């Protein structure tokens, strides 16, 4: 999926998509290699999509092989953020606050609990909250973090020692204050 400056998203992604389906049902919505899908076809295939993985599976059913990483990049390029109500566009004020403190915002929105274990820190989130939280954490590029792994409701942060894990945890706790 590609976006351009003229593809401004207003309201939720669902509202924007419905508007595009109504205005241009036969326009190409997605193009991958030699396969094209119109907004009408994508609308039919996209009803009740709850996650990026489900969208990936539906696109595959339409003959398009895309990865989770590709969908994540496309959503990022479209400046959509996952919220409890679904994917929504960043407005100028939210974009400004997100640029200032994306990890603090993600921690406040998604973090339910810290669970330290030696050099590992497990973050618990509501279902669907782990990916955006891990992305915000990765964007901080903490030197103490060797890597992160995100599932649906759990983020695993790997550090080299229990001391560095405690330092990372403290930085996150400070962002929550």
Give the number of other Cβ atoms within 10 Å of residue 43's Cβ: 17
pLDDT tens, 35-55?
888 888 877 665 555 567 777
Residue pair 146/165 in contact by the 8 Å Cβ criterion: no
Phi, psi for residue 90 in degrees, rounded to 5: -80, 130
Mean model confidence pLDDT for the chain = 79
Query: CA-CA distance, 44 to 66, in Å (whole number)?
Result: 18
What length does the chain have? 177
Q: Reply yes or no on whether the pLDDT at 144 is more than 60.
A: yes
Q: Reply yes or no on whether the pLDDT at 98 is more than 70.
A: no
Specify the higher pLDDT residue, 81 or 23: 23
Specify the higher pLDDT residue, 120 or 94: 120
Give the number of other Cβ atoms within 10 Å of residue 95's Cβ: 13
| Arithmetic mean of pLDDT, 80-90 | 61
User: Domains, the chain, ranges and CATH?
Assistant: 13-99 (no CATH), 101-176 (3.30.1360.40)
Evaluate if pTM is beyond 0.95: no
Q: H or E element: which one contains 100?
A: helix 92-100
pLDDT tens, 158-175?
999 999 999 999 999 988
């Amino acid at each position: 999926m590609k976006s351009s400056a003229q593809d401004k998203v207003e309201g939720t992604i669902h509202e924007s998509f419905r508007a595009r389906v109504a205005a241009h049902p036969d326009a190409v919505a997605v193009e991958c290699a030699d396969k094209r899908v119109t907004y009408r076809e994508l609308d039919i295939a996209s009803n009740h999509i709850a996650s990026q993985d489900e969208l990936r599976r539906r696109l595959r059913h339409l003959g398009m092989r895309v990865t989770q990483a590709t969908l994540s990049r496309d959503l990022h390029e479209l400046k959509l953020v996952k919220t409890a109500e679904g994917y929504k566009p960043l407005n100028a004020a939210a974009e400004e606050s997100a640029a200032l403190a994306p990890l603090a915002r993600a921690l406040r929105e998604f973090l339910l609990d810290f669970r330290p274990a030696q050099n590992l820190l497990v973050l618990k989130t509501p279902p669907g909250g782990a990916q955006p939280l891990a992305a915000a954490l990765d964007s901080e590029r903490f030197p103490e973090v060797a890597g992160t792994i995100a599932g649906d409701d759990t983020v695993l942060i790997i550090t080299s020692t229990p001391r560095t894990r405690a330092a990372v945890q403290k930085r996150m706790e400070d962002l929550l204050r």
